[in-house]
C-alpha cells in the first residue's frame, strides 16, 4: 500500500510559532517524500486541531501521521487517540518535539526553524517504517497499596475504602498519623490537630476495606501496572495485635516504673518505657516493645511484669518477622518528610546550649497530650518571657537546602501566636521573607502581627549562651544593614523539611524517580502532579515536596482518584514496545536470553529458537540491540525506524 503521510505542525500559541517559522516549516514538510498534506495550526491538541487530523485522514486517505508539537510524554496519547478515531492504528503516529527540544531551547529563530525542519524530516522518514502495533489488555486488580500512613496515606486510604476498594496501608512506624499526629494546633484556623486527625485514624482502623500494616515496610514490588505483587515485611512488635485489647496495663506494669528512654515520637523532649505507645489515642492501640531497651531482650532475664499484667497474655517475646504477600493494581507512595537536623548548621548552637528547640519539638511541648502536658518551661522550670523564632533553618541556604520549605513561615506564626496566648511571652520572629500565601494565611499573619509579635528581617550569625541562662542572638538586621544582638530566654529553630535519609532505597523498592534532593518526582509538574513516571504508581503529600495539610489532603484525594480511575477502567493495555522474534531468522544463539533483565525470553530446544513472553517483556530493547541474526524487532523502535530517524536528523 502506498504510504500517505500527514504532517501537523503546532504553533502552541507563541511557544513554538514565536521561535519557529511555522509556515516555512510546513512548506518544507509538504515536499518531503510521501507527504500528502502538511498543515500548521494554533493548538494542535485542541478539539479543532484534533478534528482537523481526523478529517484529513478520511479525506486524503492518510495512513501515517507526524505531529510536530510538544512531547510524546505530554501528548503522545492524545494524538494516538486521534489516529484511532480517524480509523488508524494509533502507532502509525510519530510525535516530534519542536517545543521542548527546539523552540524552548534555541535562541536564534533561523536556527530554531532549521532544527524544526530536520526533526520533522526525521519524523517523516521514521514514520514510513511504522507498522501497526496491537496491544492486549490485562485486568486490573482492584486492591491498592498505600505506603506511609501520615495524613496523606490516611486520606487516600479512606477515599478508596469508601469507594469499596481494598487498601493495604503500610506504615513503618508502630502507629499511624505521621507528623500531623505530633501537632497541637494547625494553622491558619488553629483547630486542634488531634480533633481533626484522630477521627480519621479510627476510621482507618474500623474500615473493613483497609488492612493496616504498622511497623512494616514494603520489601519488594514485582509485576506491572494493574498486577503488582507486593511483599510486605512486618517487624515483630512483641505484642500480638490479635490478642491485645489496648488496656495498656503492660506499660503501667513494666519493671521500669518511670519512662527512661528517649521517645522518638516526642522528638527527644519526652521519655518512654521499653514498651510504649506513641500517645494515648494511638492507632493501633497496641504497644510496641523496643528490643534495644527492653531488659528481657538485653539480658534475657526480666521478670516480665508487663506480661504478668496483661489480661490477655498478648505479649510474645518469640514473635518473628513476618513476610506477607498481597496483590494490588495500583500503588500510592505517601512517605512524607523528616525535619532538617539543626545540629548540621552549627551556628545555631542546637544540641549544645540549653533552651534551644526546633519547631517540631515545640509542637510536642505545646501539645496538652505531650510530654510537658502543654506547659512551656525553660530547663530551670521557669516560664520564658522572651522567645525568638528563627526561620529558614536549613532552608533557602545553598549549603543545606536551596529550596524554600513552604510551611515553616506559617509554623513560626502559629507558634508565636500560641506562645503569646498561653504564656504571654514576648516573641520575635527572625525571618528572611514571610511567605503566607495560602487561603487565610496572609490574614493570619496580619493577626499575629497585630497581636504584638515582633518581626526582624535578619540573618542570624550565631547563638551563644549569656548570663542567667539566657541566649544571645547575634544577627544582621538586613533592613538596617547592621549587626545587632538580642538576649532571649528561649530560641525556636524553624527547621525546614527534607526527604527521609533512606529515600534512595525506598525509591528503588517502589520503582520511582526522585529529584536530586530526594523528593518524589511527578510525571508533570503541572498536569500530572500525582502521577509518577512508572505506570500505576502515584504519589501524594509531602513526599513529593514540602506542603501544608490542605495541599497534602488535596493531593491524597487526587492520587486516590487516579488509582480509582485506573481500577474502574478495569484493564490496562499491555506494554506496546515489546519485541517480536522472527522464527525464520532466529538462529537459537540465545544472546537475547543472556541480556533480558526480565527473563522474558526462553529457548525452545526442539525448534532451536528463542521465544518471547510478551507479558513479561517490558520493552527495553536490549535484546534487539544484541540479536546478531536481526531476528528481533522492537515495536515502535525497530532498527529501520531508528536508522531512518538518525538519517533524517542528519540529512539536509
Partner 1 sequence: MSENFEPKIVAIFCYWCTSQAAELAGTSRMTYPPNVRIVKTMCTGRVDPQFILWAFRNGADGVIVSGCHPPNDCHYEDGNFKWFRKYVLLSRTLEQAGIDPKRLRQEWISASEADKLKKVLTEFTEEIRQLGPLNHTIREGGV
Partner 2 sequence: MGKPKVGFYWFASCGGCEESQVDIAEKIVDVINAVDIAIWPVALDFKDSDLERMEDGEMVACFLNGAITNSEHRRIAELFRRKSKYVIAYGACSYMGGIPGLEVSKDKKSLIERVYIKGDIVVNPEKKVPVTEYTEDGIKIDIPEIYERPYSLDEVIDVDFYVPGCPPTPNVFLDAVNTLLSGKIPEKGYVFGSRKSLCNECPLNKTKPEKVLVKEFKRPHEVILDPEKCYLAQGVICLGPVTRGGCDALCIKGGMPCTGCFGPLDGIKDYGAKAISYIASILDSKDLDEIRRTLEKIPDPLGTFYRYSLPGSLMYRKRIGDEK
Site for ligand FAD contains 506 (CB under 6 A): yes
Q: Which stretch binds partner 2 (CB under 8 A): 263-271, 323-331, 346-354, 625-633?
A: 625-633
Q: Are 215 and 282 in contact (CB under 8 A)?
A: no
Q: Give me the least distance between CB of 122 and partner 1, in Å please.
A: 7
CB-facing half-sphere around the CA of 625: CA atoms within 13 A: 8
Q: Give me the least distance between CB of 57 and partner 2, in Å please.
A: 23
Site for ligand FAD contains 172 (CB under 6 A): yes
> CA 202, 206, 210, 212: dihedral to nearest 10 degrees?
60
Q: Are 364 and 272 in contact (CB under 8 A)?
A: no
Residue number with CB closer to ligand SF4 (97 or 428): 428
Q: Enumerate binding residues for ligand SF4 (CB under 6 A).
A: 391-392, 395-396, 404-406, 408-409, 432-433, 435, 494, 496, 578-579, 581, 586-592, 595-596, 598, 600-601, 610, 612, 617-623, 627, 629, 631-632, 634
Site for partner 1 in 64-83 (CB under 8 A): 71-73
**Side-by-side strand order, sheet with 5-10:** 35-41, 5-10, 64-69, 93-97
Site for partner 2 contains 604 (CB under 8 A): no
H/E stretch holding 309 reads helix 305-309
Site for partner 2 contains 586 (CB under 8 A): yes
d(CA 415, CA 569): 46
Q: Which stretch binds partner 2 (CB under 8 A): 121-129, 164-172, 431-439, 459-467?
A: 121-129
Q: Give me the least distance between CB of 635 and partner 2, in Å please.
A: 17
- Angle (CA) 105-90-600 rounded to 5° is 90
Q: Which of 194, 403, 228, 459 minimizes the C-alpha distance to 333?
A: 228
What single DSSP character describes residue 541? G
Site for partner 2 contains 643 (CB under 8 A): yes
Q: Give me the least distance between CB of 30 and ligand FAD, in Å please.
A: 52
Residue number with CB closer to partner 2 (483 or 647): 647
| One residue of 168, 187, 348, 545 binding ligand FAD per CB under 6 A | 187
| One residue of 133, 269, 533, 554 binding partner 1 per CB under 8 A | 533
Helices (H), 403-544: 408-423, 441-450, 503-510
State residue 648 phi and psi, 5-degree precision: -65, -40
Q: Give me the least distance between CB of 370 and ligand FAD, in Å please.
A: 13
Q: How many residues does the chain have?
A: 652
Q: What is the contact mask toward partner 2 in residues 74 to 113, using x (rule: CB under 8 A)?
A: ----------------------------------------
> CA 374, 378, 383, 389: dihedral to nearest 10 degrees?
-80
d(CA 96, CA 451): 58
Residue number with CB closer to partner 1 (199 or 525): 525
Beta strand ranges found along 349-406 (DSSP E): 356-358, 386-393
H/E stretch holding 560 reads helix 549-569
Site for ligand FAD in 120-159 (CB under 6 A): 147-153
Helix, strand or coil, per DSSP, at residue 619: coil
Site for partner 1 in 94-133 (CB under 8 A): 97, 99-102, 104-108, 111-112, 114-115, 118-119, 122
Q: Are 143 and 227 in contact (CB under 8 A)?
A: no
Q: Which stretch binds ligand FAD (CB under 6 A): 12-20, 173-181, 243-251, 527-535?
A: 173-181
Q: Are 389 and 492 in contact (CB under 8 A)?
A: yes
d(CA 228, CA 290): 32
Helices (H), 456-513: 503-510
- Judged by phi (left if over 0) then psi (alpha if -120 to 50, else beta), residue 11 lies in alpha
Site for ligand FAD contains 284 (CB under 6 A): no
What single DSSP character describes residue 528? B
Helices (H), 128-255: 151-162, 193-206, 249-253
Buried-state track 92-105, b at ≥16 Cβ within 10 A, e below 16: bbbbbbbbeebbbe
Site for ligand FAD contains 522 (CB under 6 A): no
Closest-by-Cβ residue to ligand SF4 is 408
How many Cβ atoms sit within 10 Å of the Cβ of residue 87? 11
d(CA 462, CA 652): 63
Judged by beta carbon distances under 5 to 8 A according to partner kind, the member of partner 2, ligand FAD, partner 1, none in contact with residue 214 is none
Q: Give me the least distance between CB of 623 and partner 2, in Å please.
A: 9
Residue number with CB closer to partner 1 (9 or 488): 9
Q: Give me the least distance between CB of 604 and partner 2, in Å please.
A: 12
Residue number with CB closer to partner 1 (138 or 637): 637
Q: What is the contact mask toward ligand FAD in residues 321 to 340, using x (rule: CB under 6 A)?
A: -------------xxxx-x-
Which residues make up the interface to partner 1 (CB under 8 A)? 71-73, 97, 99-102, 104-108, 111-112, 114-115, 118-119, 122, 504, 508, 511, 513-516, 521, 525, 533-534, 577, 595, 597-598, 618-622, 624-626, 634, 637, 639, 642-643, 645-647, 649-651
Which residues make up the interface to ligand FAD (CB under 6 A)? 147-153, 170-173, 178-180, 183, 186-187, 217, 334-337, 339, 359-360, 363, 407, 411, 414, 500, 506, 541-543, 547-550, 552
Amino acid at each position: 500500500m502506498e504510504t500517505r503521510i500527514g504532517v501537523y505542525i503546532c504553533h502552541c500559541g507563541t511557544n513554538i510559532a514565536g521561535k519557529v517559522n511555522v509556515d516555512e516549516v510546513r512548506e518544507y514538510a509538504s515536499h518531503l517524500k510521501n507527504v500528502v498534506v502538511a498543515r500548521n495550526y494554533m493548538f494542535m491538541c485542541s478539539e479543532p486541531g484534533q478534528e482537523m487530523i481526523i478529517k484529513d485522514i478520511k479525506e486524503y486517505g492518510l495512513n501515517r501521521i507526524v505531529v510536530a508539537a510538544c512531547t510524546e510524554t505530554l501528548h503522545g496519547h492524545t494524538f494516538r487517540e486521534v489516529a484511532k478515531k480517524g480509523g488508524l492504528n494509533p502507532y502509525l503516529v510519530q510525535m516530534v518535539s519542536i517545543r521542548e527540544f527546539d523552540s524552548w531551547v534555541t535562541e536564534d529563530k533561523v536556527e530554531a526553524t532549521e532544527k524544526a525542519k530536520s526533526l520533522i524530516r526525521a519524523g517523516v522518514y521514521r514514520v514510513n517504517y511504522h507498522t501497526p502495533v496491537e496491544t492486549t489488555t490485562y485486568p486490573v486488580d482492584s486492591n491498592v497499596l498505600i505506603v506511609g500512613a501520615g495524613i496523606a496515606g490516611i486520606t487516600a486510604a479512606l477515599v478508596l475504602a469508601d469507594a469499596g476498594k481494598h487498601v493495604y496501608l503500610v506504615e513503618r512506624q508502630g502507629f499511624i498519623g505521621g507528623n500531623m499526629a505530633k501537632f497541637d494546633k494547625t494553622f491558619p484556623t488553629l483547630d486542634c490537630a488531634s480533633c481533626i486527625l484522630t477521627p480519621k485514624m479510627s476510621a482507618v482502623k474500623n474500615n473493613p476495606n483497609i488492612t493496616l500494616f504498622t511497623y512494616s515496610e514494603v520489601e519488594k514490588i514485582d509485576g506491572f501496572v494493574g498486577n503488582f505483587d507486593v511483599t510486605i515485611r512486618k517487624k515483630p512488635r512483641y505484642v500480638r495485635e490479635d490478642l491485645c485489647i489496648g488496656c495498656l496495663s503492660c506499660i503501667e506494669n513494666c519493671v521500669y516504673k518511670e519512662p527512661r528512654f528517649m521517645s522518638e515520637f516526642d522528638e527527644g523532649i519526652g521519655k518512654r518505657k521499653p514498651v510504649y505507645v506513641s500517645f494515648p489515642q494511638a492507632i493501633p492501640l497496641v504497644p510496641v516493645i523496643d528490643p534495644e531497651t527492653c531488659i528481657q531482650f538485653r539480658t534475657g532475664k526480666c521478670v516480665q511484669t508487663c506480661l504478668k499484667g496483661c489480661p490477655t497474655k498478648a505479649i510474645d517475646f518469640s514473635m518473628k518477622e513476618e513476610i506477607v504477600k498481597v496483590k494490588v493494581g495500583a500503588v500510592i507512595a505517601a512517605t512524607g518528610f523528616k525535619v532538617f537536623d539543626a545540629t548540621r548548621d552549627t551556628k545555631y548552637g542546637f544540641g549544645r546550649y540549653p533552651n534551644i528547640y526546633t519547631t517540631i519539638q515545640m509542637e510536642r511541648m505545646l501539645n496538652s497530650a505531650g510530654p510537658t502536658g502543654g506547659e512551656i518551661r525553660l530547663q530551670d522550670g521557669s516560664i520564658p518571657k522572651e522567645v525568638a523564632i528563627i526561620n529558614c533553618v536549613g532552608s533557602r541556604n545553598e549549603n543545606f537546602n536551596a529550596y524554600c520549605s513552604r510551611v515553616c513561615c506559617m509554623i513560626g506564626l502559629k507558634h508565636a501566636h500560641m506562645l503569646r496566648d498561653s504564656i504571654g511571652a514576648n516573641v520575635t520572629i527572625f525571618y528572611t521573607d514571610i511567605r503566607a500565601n495560602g487561603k487565610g494565611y496572609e490574614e493570619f499573619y496580619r493577626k499575629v502581627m497585630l497581636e504584638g509579635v515582633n518581626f526582624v528581617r535578619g540573618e542570624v550569625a550565631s547563638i551563644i549562651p549569656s548570663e542567667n541562662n539566657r541566649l544571645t542572638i547575634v544577627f544582621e538586621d538586613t533592613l538596617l544593614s547592621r549587626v545587632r544582638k538580642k538576649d532571649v530566654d528561649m530560641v525556636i529553630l524553624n527547621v525546614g523539611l527534607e526527604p527521609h535519609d533512606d529515600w534512595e532505597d525506598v525509591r528503588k523498592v517502589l520503582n520511582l524517580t526522585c529529584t536530586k534532593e530526594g523528593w518524589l518526582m511527578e510525571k508533570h509538574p503541572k498536569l500530572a502532579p500525582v502521577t509518577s513516571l512508572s505506570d500505576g504508581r502515584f504519589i501524594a503529600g509531602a513526599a513529593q515536596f514540602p506542603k501544608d495539610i490542605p495541599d497534602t489532603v488535596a493531593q491524597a484525594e487526587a492520587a486516590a482518584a487516579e488509582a480509582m480511575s485506573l481500577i474502574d477502567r478495569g484493564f490496562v493495555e499491555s506494554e506496546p514496545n515489546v519485541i517480536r522474534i522472527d522464527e525464520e531468522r532466529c538462529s537459537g544463539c540465545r544472546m537475547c536470553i543472556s541480556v533480558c533483565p526480565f527473563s522474558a525470553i526462553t529457548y525452545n530446544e526442539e525448534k532451536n529458537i528463542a521465544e518471547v513472553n510478551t507479558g513479561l517483556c517490558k520493552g527495553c530493547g536490549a535484546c534487539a540491540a544484541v540479536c546478531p541474526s536481526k531476528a528481533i524487532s522492537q515495536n515502535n523502535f525497530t532498527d529501520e525506524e531508528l536508522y531512518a530517524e538518525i538519517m533524517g536528523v542528519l540529512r539536509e
